[in-house]
Structure formats: C-alpha cells, structure tokens
Amino acid sequence: MLKLGFGCMRLPITDPDNPTSINDETMKEMADLFTGQGFTYYDTAYMYHEFESERAVGRNVVKRFPRDSFTLASKMPLSLIKNADQVPKIFQEQKEKTGVDYFDYYLLHNMTLSKYLLAEKLKIFDYLKERKAAGEIRYLGFSTHDNAAVVDRILTEHPELEFVQLQINYLDWESNYIQSRLCYETCVKHGKPVVVMEPVKGGTLANLPKEAEDLMRAMHPDWSPASWAIRFAASLENVMVVLSGMSNLEQMQDNVSYMKDFQPLNEEELNVLWQVRDLLKSWYAIPCTSCRYCVETNTCPMNLAIPNYFSLYNVKKQAEAVKGNRWSQENLYYENYIYAGYGRASDCISCRACESVCPQNLKIADLMKSVSASFDGE
C-alpha cells in the first residue's frame, strides 16, 4: 500500500465558519487525483465535520469508485457513548452514511484509559468482533492519544487488535506528554502496524517561521515544510500509512508528488528536522492541534471557541516575537467570535470539563488566562 492516507477531518469547506459546508466539487477533484494515482486509504470518523464527513466520503468517494479501488476507515466515537444500545445504532448509521457494506479498517476512536474501561464494561470489543466475523469489518484497531503504558495495556489485553493509530510528528516525537516515540515502539514490540495521525500537527508544521523554513529550503528548495513533516512519519518502518488532513487540491498535489515513489529521509535530512524542532519549541506557545474534540463534545458551559482562541493566540505570539507589537490583526478575529456569540476567554470558570477530552492533555483553563490577558480588555 502507498503510505499516504486521505484524512477526512479537514476537508475543503465553502464557509470558513461552518464545518459542515463541505465543498463537494473540490473534494471530488482531490479524490480523483488520489485514487487515480493509486493511493487507497481514506480515513473518516463519526464526529468529523460535525458528523458530515462520513456522508461526504459516501458521496464523493464510495459512490464514484469501484469498491476494490479504495479502502475505508471509520471509528466508533467512544467519547459520545453512554450506554451499550448506542453502539450498534451508530455502527449501522455509519454504514448508511458512507454507503459501504464493510469497513476495511475500523477503530475504537480516541481510546484513553477511561474510555478503554468503558469499552470493556459495555462489551464494545465483543460487538465489533461480531461485526468482523460477519464480514462488516476487515481489520479492527484503535486510535489513541494516551501514553505508552496505556497502549501497552490495551495491546496486551486485546491481542486481537490489528493496528493502532497514533499521533506522530517530528515536534512531538520526544514529547513527555504525547510520547510519540514510546507509543510507536510499544506497537513495534507487539507487532502492530501504525497509522499516523497529525503528522503536520493540525497544520502547525505547514506554516513555519521563516527562520525554520529557511533551514529546510537550504537543503531542498522545492520541498514544502508540510512534506518534510509527512516524510518524517512515513520514514518509520512500522508505519503502514500516514494520514494527511488535506483541505485543498494544491495540498493533495504536493503530497501525491513525493509519496507516489516515497524515499525515506536520510541521516542528514533528519538532522535538519531536529534543528527545526528545537527552533519551533521556542515559538509555539500552546501546542493545540485544532482537533476540535473539546468543541464537538459540547463540554464547555461558557461556549468558548477553545481551539480558535489558541490558534489566534499562537499567531499573535509569533507576530509579537517578530515585530514586537502587542496589538495585531488577531484581536479583530477574536472580537468577531465574541460578536458571533462565543464566550470570552475571561468567561472561563475553570470547570476543566474540556480538559478531560483533550488528547494533548492541555491545561486549557490555565491557558485561557493567558489568552484572556492577551485579548480581553484591549
């Protein structure tokens, strides 16, 4: 299998404020190029694009290509499951939305330790094994943002799981709280192939400060920063596929161009990446990946646009570092959210409900104080 996967969590949209406004025409063009060049792996999930990604995959992929020309992955949304009755209903709904008779890859989505215990209690593993026996699932796995000890426990207690989806990128590789390398090595130990998510860290590694990009361009002038990040993940031997959440045709063209005949990074190229990583660590104030789990699970009683504020904060901090100014364009964008009805960062009541679903283990309530200090009252 070619190692690039079409991640369907950041599809092209026609209205930047409406994640459900998926641009079918652009998605079709992207799928034509992807499938036409022999790439096969499409990755969606129940919650992506506020529950519309699976339908978009049904319209723009499943209905348009022969079933044996692509493989489809989707996921059981553990964060939405409260009782066992929901599980078969959601699974059937996913089949209807996508229009497939079977999923090639099916995952328990975002399995933290607490969600793992819930899945055990509600016998979700048993249900999914039945679906596999019935031919509705080809390969069963799980995705997780939890630590290596949790990955090890799950794979030890459920050796029937066949693959694992992990967050791997060069910025998080040695991170203490994400533990990309340790999680990857745990999968290698258990002999389980890895699907990589967030190789570009939610787009963060696509738009680098000039100083960092210059290091890359000095070695390979025609390699985009995003391509360096995807090449890093794909260079790992035990990686089956690297998902890229592409949002336009240009990103697809770029990825397809070098992943068609992929060459792993060499020692010299890896050294450039480590230099870039060290530079970046001093640039990004909040390592939010914009996965939107905190928003899509409706946890915030004050209706804060959490990832949007973090993203604005990061850009503002970068601008301050470069230009030394404290007011920036980002203040306007922030106020736009307030006008649209979202709460201010200062409205955060530190209930920490959002933190329980954050895969990056961010101390969101504490970080909101920094956001508030930067944006409120200016």
Site for ligand SF4, rule CB under 6 A = 288-294, 299-302, 304, 306-307, 310, 348-354, 357-358, 360, 362, 364-365, 368
Q: Is the alpha carbon torsion for 270, 224, 243, 305 positive or negative?
A: positive
In total, the chain counts a number of residues equal to 378
Helix (H, G, I), strand (E, B) or coil at 369: helix
CB atoms within 10 A of CB 83: 7
Which residue's CB is nearer to ligand SF4, number 194 or number 364? 364
Which residue's CB is nearer to ligand SF4, number 5 or number 287? 287
Instruction: Work out how close the CB of 102 gets to ligand SF4 at its nearest, in angstroms, rounded to a whole number.
Output: 30
Which residue, among 204, 205, 197, 206, has the nearest Cα to 241 in the 3D structure?
A: 197
How many Å from the N-terminal Cα to the C-terminal Cα in the chain?
53
Instruction: Work out how close the CB of 270 gets to ligand SF4 at its nearest, in angstroms, rounded to a whole number.
Output: 26
Whose tokens are 């330790």? That residue is: 113
Instruction: Work out how close the CB of 342 gets to ligand SF4 at its nearest, in angstroms, rounded to a whole number.
Output: 11
Across 187-205, b (16+ Cβ under 10 Å) vs e yields beeeebbbbbbbbbbbbbb
Which residue's CB is nearer to ligand SF4, number 155 or number 291? 291
In this structure, are residues 126 and 140 in contact, taking their beta carbons and an 8 Å threshold? no
Which residue's CB is nearer to ligand SF4, number 253 or number 370? 370
Which residue's CB is nearer to ligand SF4, number 246 or number 358? 358
Which residue's CB is nearer to ligand SF4, number 91 or number 334? 334
Instruction: Work out how close the CB of 359 gets to ligand SF4 at its nearest, in angstroms, rounded to a whole number.
Output: 6
* Rounded Cα gap, residues 4 and 261, in angstroms: 11
Instruction: Work out how close the CB of 343 gets to ligand SF4 at its nearest, in angstroms, rounded to a whole number.
Output: 8
Instruction: Work out how close the CB of 94 gets to ligand SF4 at its nearest, in angstroms, rounded to a whole number.
Output: 22
Non-local (6+) Cβ contacts of 120 within 8 A are none
Which residue's CB is nearer to ligand SF4, number 76 or number 286? 286
Q: What is the dihedral of CA 229, 235, 239, 242, to 10 degrees?
A: 30
Instruction: Work out how close the CB of 186 gets to ligand SF4 at its nearest, in angstroms, rounded to a whole number.
Output: 22
* Rounded Cα gap, residues 141 and 151, in angstroms: 12
Which residue's CB is nearer to ligand SF4, number 245 or number 307? 307
φ, ψ at 103 (rounded to 5°): -100, 135
Helix (H, G, I), strand (E, B) or coil at 325: coil
Helix ranges (DSSP H) in 191-291: 210-219, 225-234, 249-259, 267-281
Instruction: Work out how close the CB of 319 gets to ligand SF4 at its nearest, in angstroms, rounded to a whole number.
Output: 20
| Count of H-run helices and E-run strands, the chain | 16, 8
Give 142's strand partners: 108, 164
Instruction: Work out how close the CB of 296 gets to ligand SF4 at its nearest, in angstroms, rounded to a whole number.
Output: 9
Which residue's CB is nearer to ligand SF4, number 26 or number 180? 180
